[in-house]
Amino acid sequence: MNDTILEVKDLSFRYRGAKRKAFQHISFDVRKGEFFCIVGANGSGKSTLCNALVGLIPFYFEGRMKGDVFINGKNTKESSIAELSSEIGLVFQNPFNQLSYTAGTVEEELAYGLGNKGIPREEMKKRVAKVAKMMRIDHIINKNPLELSGGQVQRVAFGSTFIMEPEILVLDECTTQLDPLGSEEIFDIVKDLNKNGITVIMVDHDMERVARCANRILVLEDGNQVAIDTPEKIFGNPDMVAHQIDVPDYVSICQELKNRGLFKGEVEVEEEPTIQAVKEALKV
Amino acid sequence: MAKTSNYVPQDSPLDRMDPRAKIYAIFCLGIAAIIFPYYQFSYLIVIGLFIAAGIAKLLKKFTKFMLAFAIPILIMLIFIQGFYSPKNVTIIADCGFAKLGLEGVEYALKIVGSLLVFLGSFYLMTTTTYTGRLVAALVDSGMNMKVGYLVLACLNVVPQMQRRMLIIQEAQAARGVDTQGTFFSRLKAYIPLLGPVVMSSFTDAQERGMTLETRGFGVKNVKPTTFVEAKKRTSDRVVQILLVVFLVATIAATVFLKFA
Amino acid sequence: MKIELKELRHVYPTGEEALKGISTVIEGTEPVAIIGQNGAGKTTLVKHFNGILRPSSGDVLLNGESIKTRSTAQWSKLVGYVFQNPDDQLFLDSVKREMEFGPRQVGMPEDKIAQRLKVISELCGLQDKLDMHPFDLTSTEKKFCTVASVVMMDPEVVIFDEPTCGQDVRGNERLSKIVQSLKDAGKLCITISHDMKFVVNNFERAIVLYKGKILLDGKMKDVFAQPDELSKTFVSPPPITRVAIGAELGETAFTIPEFMKAFDAKRGAAKHE
Amino acid sequence: MKTEKVGFIGGIKEQFSTKSLVLIPIAVGINLIGGTLASALKLPLFLDMIGTIISAALAGPWVAALVGLLTNVFLALVSNPVYLPYSLVSIGCGLVTGYMIRGGMFKKVWGVVLTWLACTLLSVAISSTITVLVFGGATGATGTSVFTATLIAATKNIVKSVVATSMIENLVDRGIAFLIAYILLKRIPKRFMSQYSVEANFDDAEIDD
């Protein structure tokens, strides 16, 4: 569990023409199978960092990059986005911008990336069937992706990314545009994938969710790395509010209980333990 | 919602035919119609197209399309060329304001005939061919995936943008943009309505580029494969050969008629 | 301001009946949140408040006048609508122009525009960004640019469609401030939202829709005291409320002080036993 | 990432990066939406080359030419095959606009006017040739064709009438299209432009601390 799969070393980036850097001096590593979250206010550089992890920086966006990203010990600079796609995959916010716009059906959409890589049709069909089942879209496999709901399209986008068989998934606010039900469906899938050993790096605004899922959290503010630690440590630290981090209600409740001497140990970050803690406190 | 193509899925021999054979048909039949000196010939081909439409179970749709195109243009051209063509020598009717000439009418019929062959066969191809399959066939024949992307993406992006346009119309109406009124007030509404489409398209373009890159778009030195199958059957090859033979025969007949 | 809904029905051209007879009155300045699952008819409903959609039957009366009498552009003076996606609205090259556009469309005098520009840009946190291109703003600022451009028109009603979508902490705080100050200025705020945390803390009345009909309608506290009814339309109370229910505090708590008050009360009662 | 001097063909190839390529369907979309919008607003105009002009400014003449071609192919596929021969007009306009913008014409208003006139003349020349040679003077019973027919009845000259009709039609329509495209282009955010511009006029200095 402790082998590093991704390593970021003193990474900085400035877009061409931009006055200030999108982020600077970022260093962290992610372990194999970890659920790693990145949080921070809008404009703090989270999305740009995600782009740098998957190789879109420096290969797609124009600008200046300093520092390195290693995936399985290989420097991304010496690779290409297409090669990286079978090691690290990205899913971002707008589902409809993650379609290739070349497919008349969901299965063609899923297969598109494989086609570009010249994977034989037999293999393609096998992988499409497998991924469709995993993403729970096997019932809409013959539908036109453009006629699906946002939640369904996002699952198709997940499938198209995952079909390249990456070991790491980078999720950049991938449920922001979905309704609660659609988001839940996506997160069920993400949790399953993570259980099966896929490393997940996630950016999200819902701190309850981040607290629940994350093994570790990286906090960004104005492009700077502020902290990197477990959810309990991050949210249990009162200074975090100053870094524009929303604290989950569970944590606030625990802290109030702590103030009254009714709760000991680290803060809780999930619903059930919090309820238990409150019940315990009622008895004291 | 806007339609993205004319394609009507049907179980018919024309639907099963390889798209490349249909492209051969458009060119062979079209060129034959143009070069053969007698206009009647092109109408024979048109009759052939009607039979093909019947086989494809699209006769009603095809007839409607052909008549909607043929009648107005025939009237216009007979008027323009029949009355005013400089080639007119033989007068077949005198309508008072102008004289109707045989050469002009024949020229009009010839143009309309050739156009009908081209348009009719093109229309039949688009109504019987799934665009994804057409592109797959062309990629199989060595066409660049990027070209395939462009054709398919245009067909898919446009309806998406049209839907977007409707939302923008609502959003701008809620800001007081009126789409009624005088010519100038309507023209003034044009930019608030088109502007958001254009501006947000750039963000979309950037993100879609990201998507393509992470899907291995434009990888070099790899022969791409397609999910949709594109294999020529023996019957498709036979059809192609027959079409070429037909064109060669027409050329031969034309040469013979000219010099004999 | 008074919005009356009279047996409002809406059937889309596809034949889908999105609203199946909605009758209620929204009056005064009490902020109203419209909640419910996707497809419950929330957006369809609020799009009737400024005439983007027209009733298939029934009617909507704005201050007694039927919605059918004017076009959306004409209603825009009275009812502002902030769309969910800023990109559907923005097209000018500076925040300032964007903010001046709406008021000019409805013929607001220039001195009033200038005066409002100052106040509203401050309220929306854009006072230092007036010359920036809206597309160079962060997503939070961009959203506030659309809010500002609608509020600038000084409408009596402001409708927010999923205002917290993609927002960060500061954004949410600012939204609360805007809702509060609109209320203080005698305006009526209506929102559609999935974000229950935001809804319970800033809105006083909730209308819960379920399959095109009103499921619950009333004070926020009363509505969230019925979690079983709410779950029908897949609305789950905010975490703090869920913990209060889970720990059987016997109160519908929306904030930490409320929660602790209920906690102390319960604990006190337990001690007395 | 540095652009080196390359030959003519290489220069054309360079215009077709993934970034430009994804712009093409969107520019085609803008062309078509511009047209639909004009008819929705009941404006007696086509306004169907705004996307071509914008793509010419962003990604160069050959991308714009392709946008023009694909716009007509799209129309031919979904609406009426008559549009196909006229793709030559769209290609020509894309190239002329693109090269004139490359020559710095969009920096001044008179340059825009010049580009508009050049584009109009080219459109008239190509489209009249197609109308006369391919279609014999009319493409159907559209308003334009009826107008042409009326002119022919008056002047008894097919070519002159077709050219005159095309001239009137194109002059006004392209004029408004150029005006709108120019206004929109000026509003495109820098952040976006900086990702496209081939020229190195953006501050590209090394990151320093």
Domain count, chain C: 2
Chain D partners (3+ C-beta pairs within 8 A): A, B, C
User: Residue D3's pLDDT band (boundaries 50, 70, 90)?
Assistant: very low
pLDDT surpassing 90 at residue D7 = no
Q: Are residues C187 and C266 in the same domain?
A: no
Q: Is the dihedral of CA B163, B168, B173, B174 positive or negative?
A: positive
- Tell me what the mean pLDDT of segment C26-46 comes to: 93
Mean pLDDT of B197-209: 89
What is the pLDDT, as a whole number, of residue D197? 58
CA distance B170 to D33: 16
Instruction: With beta carbons under 8 A apart, name residues in chain B contacting A161.
Output: 214
Q: A242 pLDDT exceeds 90?
A: no
Average pLDDT over residues D143-168: 84
**Inter-chain contact D149–B79, Cβ cutoff 8 Å?**
yes
Inter-chain contact A62–D1, Cβ cutoff 8 Å?
A: yes
First-last CA distance in chain B:
58
Complex ipTM value: 0.89
Of D22, D66, D77, the CB nearest to B6: D77
What are the residues whose beta carbons fall under 8 Å from the beta carbon of B207, sequence distance 6 or more?
Answer: A92, A94, A97, A98
Residue D93's pLDDT is 95
- Which of A17, A49, A36 minimizes the C-alpha distance to A222? A49
C249 and C156 in a common domain: no
The ranges assigned to domains in chain D are 13-196
pLDDT value of residue D14: 64
Strand-pairing partners, residue C213, are C210
The pTM assigned to this predicted structure is 0.90
Nearest chain D residue to B4 by CA distance is: D78
Any chain C CB within 8 A of the CB of A179?
yes
Q: Which residue has the higher pLDDT, A238 or C171?
A: C171
Of A17, A65, A101, the CB nearest to D190: A17
What is the chain A residue with the closest CA to C196? A180
Percent of chain D with pLDDT over 70: 86
Query: For residue B165, what is the nearest residue in chain C, using CA coordinates?
Result: C88
Strands C205-210 and C32-35: parallel
**Are residues C215 and C273 located together in one domain of the fold?**
no
C148 and C248 in a single domain? The answer is: no
Percentage of chain A lying above the pLDDT 70 cut: 99
Percent pLDDT > 70 in chain C is 100
Asked if B138 and B162 touch (Cβ cutoff 8 Å), the reply is: no
Instruction: Return the partners of chain B (3 or more C-beta pairs < 8 Å).
Output: A, C, D
* Partners of residue B95 in chain D, C-beta under 8 Å: none
Same domain, C12 and C113: yes
The interface residues of chain B toward chain A in range 189-218, judged by CB-CB distance below 8 A, are: 204, 207-218
Q: Are residues C182 and C47 in the same domain?
A: yes
Reading the block at residue B168, the tokens are 């923008």
C57 has a pLDDT exceeding 60: yes
The pLDDT of C48-57, averaged and rounded, is 95
Task: Note whether B149 contacts A160, CB cutoff 8 Å.
Answer: no
Lowest mean pLDDT among A20-29, A179-188, C172-181: A179-188
Q: How confident is the model at residue B203 (pLDDT cuts 50, 70, 90)?
A: confident
Mean pLDDT across C239-246: 92
Taking residues D29-37, report their average pLDDT. Answer: 92
pLDDT (tens digit, 9 = 90+) per residue, D48-70? Answer: 899 999 999 988 899 999 999 99
The subunits that touch chain C, with at least 3 C-beta pairs less than 8 Å apart, are A, B, D
> Which pLDDT does position D6 carry in this prediction?
54
pLDDT at A2: 60
CATH class of D13-196: mainly alpha
* Nearest residue in B to C149, CA atom: B175
Tokens 């009526």 sit at which residue?
C188
Residue from B7, B154, B164 to probe the interface with D (highest D Cβ count within 10 Å): B154
Residues 108-147 of A with CB under 8 A from C: none
The Cα B168–Cα B160 span in angstroms is: 13
B200: which chain C residues are within 8 Å (Cβ-Cβ)? Answer: 87-88
Q: Which residue has the higher pLDDT, A163 or B139?
A: A163
- Do A183 and A207 contact (CB within 8 A), yes or no? no
Q: How many CB atoms lie within 10 A of CB C23?
A: 11
Domain region containing C126: 2-235
Q: What is the pLDDT of residues B223-234, one digit of tens each?
A: 888 899 888 899
Look at chain B and count its residues: 260
How confident is the model over C100-154, as pLDDT tens digits? 999 999 999 999 999 999 999 999 999 999 999 998 899 899 999 999 999 999 9
C181 and C214: one domain? yes
Q: How would you list the strands of the sheet with C79-82, edge to edge?
A: C79-82, C157-161, C188-192, C32-35, C205-210, C213-219
